Chains A and B, each alone.
Chain A
Amino acid sequence: MQGQVLQIKSQAEWKSLVLENPKPVIVDFYADWCGPCKVLKPKLHSLHEQSQGKWELAVVNVDIDDLQKISGQYASQGIPAVYLFNKGQQISTFLGNNEAKAKEMALKAATL
C-alpha cells in the first residue's frame, strides 16, 4: 500500500515484513531519544511517498525488547541506521541523518 509505513514490533514481523517482503524494503532503525533520527524520519517518509509504491518503508524502534538482538546487530554503530533489503538480502546501508545517502538509497530501491 502506497504511503503506509511498516512498524516492525516483533521478530516475526521482521521476518515476514522485511526479509520476506516481495518488494525492496528500506528499514530505519531509530529511537525516540535520538535527535538526528527525528530529522531524518520525515525525509524518508517523503521519499517513500514519491516512490509510487516501488519499495516499502519499515521502521524499527531500537528500544523494543523483543527486537534487541536485531537492533543490536544492525544498530550497534549508532542510529539512525538505515538499510536497504531486497528479498532478504542487505543491499546497502548508511548511518546518520544523511539526506544525500537517503536519496541515493531510494533511487536504488526503485530500480530493484
Chain B
Amino acid sequence: MDVEQEYDLFVIGGGSGGLACAKQAAKLGAKVALADFVKPSPLGTKWGLGGTCVNVGCIPKKLMHFAATLGELRHDQVEAGWIDTQVDSKHNWEKMVENVNNHIRKLNFGYKNQLLKEDVKYYNKLAELIDANTIKLTDNKGQIETVRAKTILVAVGGRPSYPDNIPNIQNLVITSDDLFWLQENPGKTLVIGASYVALECGGFLHGIGNEVAIMVRSILLRGFDQEMAEKIGLYMEEKGIRFIKGSVPDMIEATEDNKRKVTWIINGQKQEEIFDTVLVATGRVSDTQKLNLDKVGVKMNKSGKILCSADDKTSVANIYAIGDCVEGRPELTPTAIKCGQLLANRLYNNSTELMSYEFVATTVFTPLEYGCIGYSEEDAIKKFGEDKVTVYHSIFKPLEWNYFEMHSGESCFAKLIVLNDNRRVIGFHYLGPHAGEVTQGYAVAIKMGVTKEQFDSTVGIHPTCSEELVQVTAVKGIDDAQKEGC
C-alpha cells in the first residue's frame, strides 16, 4: 500500500463534532483531513456531508415539525379574522420534502465549501483503521487509498437500531434515516418507540393529516422528567394520536398490496392492524463496528460506544473520540460541536479547557414543545433528597390560544426545581409553544447559578408564556399549579 499523505489530524466522520473539530484545528494551523461516508440505510437512503443533524435529524425534523404547526394554526387564523382559510385542506408531502431536501443539499454544499476554505482535505470515502496512525479509505467504487496521521479523531456518530425479534425487519420498516427523504407520503403510520424521535416524528406526521399510532413498551421519554413526559403524551392523545401502550410488535409482515400487517400482544390477547408504513424509533447504536477499533486497541462498551476520559482520549494515546459514538455523552449537536472545538484548542493551541455537560439546555419538538435545563424532578430528589428540594409549578394558557376555543387551558406547564440550601434553580422545565426560544436564555442564567429569588426579582415580558417562569409561586405539594383569575 502506497502511503502518500500524512496529516496532523485525521477526522473520521463529517457530522456536527467532526466538522467542528476539523475546521477549528485547521484554523489553528494543523494539517487536517476528514473522511465522511454515508452507508446507505437498508432501504437505500443516503445523503451528503454534514452528519445526522443536518441530513436525517434536527434540521429536517424541525422543518417538518414547523410544517405541521402551520397546519394547526389554520383554526386560529379563522378566528383571528382571516377569510377563505380552509381548515381541512390537504398537505402536499412531495412539496415539503423537496423543499426540505433542497435546503439540506444547500447545507451539504456549504460544509464542503467550509472545508475547502479552511484547507481541510475532504475524503468522501469509508474509513477504517489499520493501526493507530494509518487509515484505509475506500470509495464507493471499491478503490482503496491509505493515509497516515499523527492524531486521529473518531466522530462517527450513530445510526438507528432495529428490534431483533422480527425476521427481515430492516426491509419492512423505515427509520428516521428514511423518513426525511421519502418521496411519497408514508400514509397511515405506526411508530414504534417512546423516544423523542418517535414522539416528534409521530407528532408531525399526525399534524400534516396522517393517521398515526405510537406503540410504546413502557414509559415515554426515558431519562426526561416523567411528569413532563406524561403531559406531552396526554396532549398528543387529546390531539388524536393513538398510543398503544405496554406493547412491542410481535410480528410485521408485508401484505399483498405492500402495506404492513403488524401483530402485537396486549393482556395476553393478540391484536393486529394494517398500516401503510411502520417507523421504528426504538434507539440508536454507535456506528463503530467496521472501524477496526478492537484490533487497534480502542476500548468500547458492550453496545459499541467508545470509552473516553473527560479529555476525549480513548484507550489509545493518539486516538480521540467525540459525539454520539462516545459513552456517556448527550446525543446532541451543540455539545458535539463545542466538544470538537475545545478538543482542537487543547491539541493545537495549548488550551486546557474541557467540555462541560452541566446544565445543557435542550428541547423536544413534540406537538406541544418541551424545553428543559438541568435536573428532572426525579433526578433532583434522588441526588439531593426530597426534603432538600422545592418544586414550583404552574399551569398556564398562552394568550394567543384564546381565539380558537378548542385550545386547552391546562396543557401548558412550567416547573422549576430549586435546591433549598442555596436557592439555586437546578431544574427548568417548560411545556408550551416556542419552547426552544423560551428555554435558551434561561440556560445562561442557570449556568451562572441563578437563584429562585433572582428569578422572582426579574420583571416579566408581558404578554408572553415565558414570563410564567419569573412569576411562578405555587409550590408542588402545597399549592395548585393553576392560577385563579387573571
Contacts and interface: CB of A to CB of B under 8 A. Distances in A.
A80 to B, nearest CB: 12
A31 interface: yes
A69 B106 contact: no
B32 to A, nearest CB: 16
A76 B105 contact: no
Interface string B116-136: 110000001000000000000
A99 interface: no
A110 interface: no
Contacts of A68: 112, 116
Contact of B113 (A35, A63, A65, A72): A72
A72 B105 contact: no
A34 interface: yes
Contacts of A76: 113, 116-117
A65 B124 CA distance: 10
Interface in B90-115: 101-103, 105-106, 109, 112-113
A84 interface: no
A34 B99 CA distance: 10
16 contacts: A31-B105, A31-B106, A31-B109, A32-B105, A33-B101, A33-B102, A33-B103, A34-B106, A35-B102, A62-B109, A68-B112, A69-B116, A72-B117, A75-B113, A76-B113, A76-B116
Interface of A: 31-35, 62-63, 65, 68-69, 72, 75-76, 79
A59 B112 CA distance: 20
Contacts of A72: 112-113, 116-117
Contacts of A34: 102, 106
B332 to A, nearest CB: 27
A69 B121 CA distance: 11
A74 to B, nearest CB: 11
Q: Chain B's interface: helix, strand, loop or mixed, by majority? A: helix
Interface of B: 101-103, 105-106, 109, 112-113, 116-117, 124
A79 B106 CA distance: 10
A72 B119 CA distance: 11
A35 B98 CA distance: 11
Nearest to A73: B116
A65 B117 CA distance: 16
A61 to B, nearest CB: 11
Contacts of A35: 102
B140 to A, nearest CB: 11
A68 B49 CA distance: 13
Nearest to B98: A33
A96 to B, nearest CB: 14
A58 to B, nearest CB: 19
Given A33-B105, A63-B105, A72-B112, 9 more contacts: A31-B105, A33-B102, A33-B106, A34-B106, A63-B109, A65-B124, A72-B113, A72-B117, A76-B117
A76 B101 CA distance: 20
A10 to B, nearest CB: 17
Contacts of A75: 113
Contacts of B113: 72, 75-76
Nearest to B114: A76
A69 B117 CA distance: 10
Contacts of A63: 105, 109
Contacts of A62: 109
Best-buried of B101, B103, B106, B124 by chain A (most CB within 10 Å):
B106
A68 B109 CA distance: 10
B54 to A, nearest CB: 13
B113 to A, nearest CB: 5
Contacts of B102: 33-35
Contacts of B105: 31-33, 63
A34 B124 CA distance: 22
B338 to A, nearest CB: 25
Nearest to B122: A68
Contacts of B106: 31, 33-34
A19 to B, nearest CB: 20
Contacts of B103: 33
Contacts of A33: 101-103, 105-106
A76 B111 CA distance: 10
The 3 closest A-B pairs by CB, nearest first: A72-B116, A33-B105, A33-B102
A65 B123 CA distance: 11
Nearest to A72: B116
A75 B116 CA distance: 11
Nearest to A35: B102
Best-buried of A31, A32, A33, A63 by chain B (most CB within 10 Å):
A33
Best-buried of B106, B112, B113, B124 by chain A (most CB within 10 Å):
B113
A76 B117 CA distance: 8
Contacts of B124: 65
A20 to B, nearest CB: 24
A34 to B, nearest CB: 7
Contacts of A31: 105-106, 109
A68 B105 CA distance: 15
Nearest to A62: B109
A31 B112 CA distance: 14
